[in-house]
Amino acid sequence: MTEGGGALFRKKDGEAGAVTLFLILILAGVYMFVAVFIDYARIAAFKVQAERMTHAALRSVMSAYDPSLREYGLFAYGDSSSEAIMAKVLNDSVKPSAVKDSFPILDIQWDTTSLSMDRELGNYEIFNRQIQEDMKYRAPVDFTLEVVNRFKPMSEELKEAAHTVDLLKKLQKLYDKREKLLDEAIENQTESAEKLKNLPDLIMNPPSSAIYDEMLREAPETAAEAAARYADYLNKKQIDEGLPFTQQMYIVELGRYRTGVGKVATGISMTIQPAFQTHQTKLEEAHAKIEEARQINEEMKRVIAEGENRSQNASYDNVGNSTLAGASPSSAGRGDEAKSTRSLASELVRADSLFDQLNARVRSQTSDFNLVRTDSMELNMQLHSVTAVNGVAIKPAVTQASRTTEQYMNTYVRSGSSNVIMQSKKQLEEGRGSDAQRKANDKESKGKLKEVKRMLSQIEKGSSGSKEAFKQLETYYNANIAFNEASREESKKAEIDGDPYDSGGNAMNGMDSLFGGMSGLLDSLGDELFQNEYALAYFNSMDFGQLFNWTEGSGDAGMSLSLKIRSWSTSFTVSIILQVTLRLLMPKSLGCD
């Protein structure tokens, strides 16, 4: 029983150690998983540590930036060896720990390291990005508070000044053209009238209401003398008609009379014919010029009416009405003086009745000349008849021709209250008012413009030192343009117009552009603002008020200005050199600019 009962619980042969083997298989899988996990963790830790070391090394390299560039808000690599700095930092980071019995989890050893520079500072995109990063907080504040707030109190004054200058510039051109046309029309009338100034000397000199008979002594020099001696001529002609040639007593006197009459008739013809052509062309031109002046006068009215709705004024209003942080200076004025000046613009417009009067006088001159021409030609016919026909009524023809001619001369040629051409001139001068003062001011303004041109010419020539500095600056600039492969238009020299009105108008156009830009800038700020504010913040400015002392020929002033120009140009040259020669140490792998 005992043996039999024990046999029930006895293990079979071959099953000894089965549990142990099963446990070993399980533990082997666990150990393999743990070993793989540990290796993976070490690899991940290695990557993280390597990245941290690399970042530390790159920060060390970047800490070797050029301090002189930092003064300009720019970061660029200096003269130190970048690879040496990086290699030292990486090697120091993997040195064994000084703690004894420490267990190194990661046994890192650097095989090879390399560093390549990228994102050169001379590249426009990089350079502008650094300017933006440096100025994105300063530029809006500096510009808004320092510039806009300075222009804001002047906006109303400058708006009225620009408005007035723009209006007066347009009107002045039209005004000068209109007055020139009117002067030319008067000159045409005068030129036409002057063609008849010798006619009274051929008809009757001095004029008289009656012609008395005279003896035939000398050859007649006027039509009146021919008429006065005509009776004696006929009497002596009848005496000699029945006598033989050798017995004729008055042949010489009769011959002188005929010669004198012929000269008078020829003289009248030679005066009337050119005068007719001149009156026909010049008076027509005068009428056309008066009508053209009338059209210009209407255009002046239109310019004045449209000037009240000037679109550029909105930019000034936007700046003046803007609400910005910071203290705003008190208003510089409301532009009352400019408004008052602009209100006088209507005085430059001529009354329509003036043009009607001038046209009426031109037509009157034409009709009066036609009367003179008709009577003179009638007289000329009578003069040709006196030597061939007896009993010619020469005296009434002379008297009528003399009367119409004298009337024409008093109305259009001779000085006096009845001269309508002088009346027209007087009307024009009365309408011009202070033209003499304006012309004197224009002359003075032109002199000032010439002085400014002379000053700028001396600045352009400059001293030998400043020339070399600017030549060097131009060299760097051209090199930078070539480096960025950017197309550009050649800069053109600004020209100062010799006309004070054009020069003033151009200045006010620039003011319109300035306020228009500020108005748009209040809504959007761009790269140009950052760049301009950057230049203002980091570079020296030059006092251009000293140019006046320099251009007056003072040696000390000239030397001082030359040094200032050289200092200013040198500072700007530094900026160009940075763009062309320095390279920014910010690898793309860091993902930063």
Contact 143, 533 (CB under 8 A): yes
Spatial neighbors of 45 by CB under 8 A, at least 6 apart, are: 105, 106
Taking alpha carbons only, the member of 312, 282, 362 closest to residue 519 is 312
Contact 463, 562 (CB under 8 A): yes
d(CA 81, CA 77): 10
One-letter amino acid identity for 556? D
The helix (run of H) or strand (run of E) holding residue 422 is: helix 420-432
Contact 321, 151 (CB under 8 A): no
The helix (run of H) or strand (run of E) holding residue 172 is: helix 155-194
Give every residue of the chain whose pLDDT is below 70, as ranges. Answer: 1-18, 78-79, 96-107, 137-156, 158-159, 311-343, 433-442, 445, 449, 456, 458-467, 485-512, 514-533, 536, 540-593
The H helix count followed by the E strand count for the chain is 23, 0
Q: Got the DSSP string for 325-358?
A: SS--PPP----HHHHHHHHGGGGGSPPHHHHHHH
Could you tell me the end-to-end alpha-carbon distance of the chain, in angstroms, rounded to an integer? 95
- What is the number of alpha carbons within 13 Å of residue 385 lying toward its C-beta? 14
d(CA 363, CA 149): 63
> Would you state the pLDDT for residue 266?
93
> Would you state the pLDDT for residue 341?
65
Contact 543, 77 (CB under 8 A): no
Taking alpha carbons only, the member of 570, 560, 562, 561 closest to residue 540 is 570
The helix (run of H) or strand (run of E) holding residue 125 is: helix 124-135
- DSSP conformational letter for 65: B
Phi and psi based region of residue 500 (left: phi greater than 0; alpha: psi -120 to 50; beta: remaining): alpha
Taking residue 457's Cβ as centre, other Cβ atoms within 10 Å add up to 10
The angle, 0 to 180 degrees and rounded to 10, between the axes of the packed helices 230-241 and 251-307 is 150
Contact 215, 232 (CB under 8 A): yes
Taking residue 308's Cβ as centre, other Cβ atoms within 10 Å add up to 10
Spatial neighbors of 532 by CB under 8 A, at least 6 apart, are: none
What does pTM read for this prediction? 0.54
- The phi and psi torsions of 507 (rounded to 5 degrees) equal -65, -45
d(CA 255, CA 247): 15
H-state helical runs in 82-123: 82-93
> Would you state the pLDDT for residue 265?
92
d(CA 41, CA 460): 72
Taking alpha carbons only, the member of 476, 487, 495, 498 closest to residue 570 is 476
- The phi and psi torsions of 423 (rounded to 5 degrees) equal -65, -40
d(CA 365, CA 421): 10
Contact 320, 331 (CB under 8 A): no
> Would you state the pLDDT for residue 579?
38
